[in-house]
Amino acid sequence: MAYRWVATSVAGLVQQLAVSYIAHGYLFYIAGWIPEGKDPARTDAKLIAQYGLDVSKWTRARQRKRGQASVQYLRHDRFFVLVATHGEHPFFAGEGKRIRDFRRQPLHFHGYSLGCRKGRDGRWHASVRIAREPFAELKQRFGALAVHRSVEELGQEFRRLAFEPYAPVRDQLRILLRAVNRRRHAAGLEELPLAALPWHRRPVKPFAAAQ
């Protein structure tokens, strides 16, 4: 299968990063934006050639057995990210101090915070949540709407949020719901049920169909 790296949507890039890369040990990254006026395809070609990314999964498996890192490239619109596993690879020498670690510095993209957290099992797991500043804005917004919208209207507001309900996002939505219901309870208004929140994430196809 030809190497694919252009995500067709924000949800696709987030899913590919979290589910296919971070969850499988791609803990190191660099990210950036391709300037306006610069052809993204040229940047793609340069990075893919520079780091030898257009290889089969079997080649990647052999490289990892030899202690070499695996590196992947992903882009949506003009935003790009290179991710790598532990091991030896020209990526680490080439990018140097620009490299970040998902476990220490989450990646912020379109209001999401993508990182890696240690679970109760002691292992590292991908973490997708709403970033701090956008979440603070949502708290303010829903606090203002809490007693001025009906249960149905507030439910629609929750369902219109542009965040896929990954587990940490669902936790954040419950925080918003509790804050809304505290205000509605104090005002003697009907409270929103838990079912008003979007619970199920629908997997997307991150890449366009092969031509």
The domain boundary residue, chosen from 71, 95, 129: 129
The domain of 32 spans: 10-129
The pLDDT value recorded for residue 63 is 83
pLDDT in tens, 43-59: 999 999 999 998 888 88
Assess if residue 202 is contained within a domain.
no
Please report the DSSP string for 51-114 in residue order: TT----HHHHHHHHHTTB--EEEEEETTEEEEEE-SSB-HHHHHHGGG-EETTTSPEEETTEEE
How many domains is the chain built from?
A: 2
* 106 lies in the same domain as 139: no
* 61 lies in the same domain as 107: yes
* 37 lies in the same domain as 123: yes
* 176 lies in the same domain as 104: no
* 44 lies in the same domain as 142: no
pLDDT in tens, 87-113: 999 999 999 999 999 999 999 999 999
